[in-house]
Structure 1
Amino acid sequence: MYQLRGHHIFCLLGYRGMGYSKEYVENMTMLHQTLRENPKTWIQLIEGPDRLCEKFPNTSEYHCEEKGIAERDSAILEKMELKIGQILTWEEIEAKIQKYIVPSDINTVCESCSWRSYGVCEEGVQEILNGSGLREVK
């Protein structure tokens, strides 16, 4: 089982192999591939820093405990009708995305995210809506 904070659900949708450091990318790629290959993987939704935050480089400003990030976590979970502490499969999370999320939600919920300008998160949402699952990262 993986512990995951709210906004990392959206980060996983847009993930294309880019990140803050080599270690961060390796960690994110491993989780992304696991969920892509086995959507029945269990996820526990948590508040605050998760396993992905553990590999955030100490050479960058650590934002994982900032109020704005926590607010983004809450907004995403609320929009998807999910709660902190809930345990469900990645497949069930994808079903919630299909039910409650549209690509334009990225522009409002993730307005201050530096990765938003790449446009890949909207693409990732659309791929889930189309039933394609997570995109393969090469």
Structure 2
Amino acid sequence: MTIQLRGHHLLCLLGYRGKGYSAGFCANMTLVYERLRTAPETKIALIHGPDDICAAFPEDQESHCDNASVYRKDEEIARQIGIAIGETWAWADICAAVAERVQPHDIGSLCSDCRWEPYGLCREGVAHIHASRRLRTLPEA
């Protein structure tokens, strides 16, 4: 099974702690996260635009999946990691590239306009990948 992800979700997953926009969104994000945590050989296809995570964005909230700022983040983060649209990498290889090419402080500029950035979760996630190259176990709900 190949998971389709857009650029910024490569870093969002590192900061994911089981919280998000809605229960349905979190259930979907947790499924993707746990797949990558337990099977880091899972293939990730980098795509342009809404992906397997966006698919569960709640319909009763204003979607940001097609905003210009989100596409900017996608491009900048993919470039920083070194992956291009249309390429397929194993999740473990993405984590290795993040550890080599992204520093925790980079989140401040790459994701400056993200509503989740002030919480520091993605900075912590990048730091964790530097230390272990694997996703951490999610906290109990």
Give the TM-score of the pair, scaled to structure 2.
0.96
Equivalent in the alignment of 1:62: 63
Unmatched 5+ residue regions in structure 1? none
- SS of the aligned residue for 1:125 comes to helix
Cα offsets for 1:41-92 (capped at 9, x unmatched): 0000000000110110111111001111000000000111110000010000
**Percent identical residues:** 41
Equivalent in the alignment of 1:87: 88
Matches within 5 A, 1:25-40: 25-40=26-41
Unmatched 5+ residue regions in structure 2? none
Cα offsets for 1:1-54 (capped at 9, x unmatched): 100000001110000000101110000000000100010000000000001101
- SS of the aligned residue for 1:31 comes to helix
The structural deviation recorded for 1:135 is 1.5
Sort the Cα spacing of 1:16 and 1:8 in 2 relative to 1 into closer, same or farther, 3 A. same
Equivalent in the alignment of 1:130: 131
Name the stretch that deviates more: 50-59 or 126-135. Answer: 126-135
**Contact 2:3/2:44, CA 8 A, preserved across alignment:** yes
Give RMSD over aligned pairs: 0.7
Runs of 4 or more, structure 1, over 3 Å off, are: none
The structural deviation recorded for 1:96 is 0.5
The structural deviation recorded for 1:132 is 4.8
The answer to whether 1:72 aligns with 2:73 is: yes
Q: Distance in 1 between matches of 2:81 and 2:8?
A: 11
- SS of the aligned residue for 1:103 comes to coil
**Contact 2:42/2:90, CA 8 A, preserved across alignment:** yes
The structural deviation recorded for 1:98 is 1.0
Q: Distance in 1 between matches of 2:136 and 2:116?
A: 17
- SS of the aligned residue for 2:75 comes to helix
Q: Distance in 2 between matches of 1:103 and 1:51?
A: 25
* Letter paired with 1:25: C
* Residues paired across the two proteins, number: 138
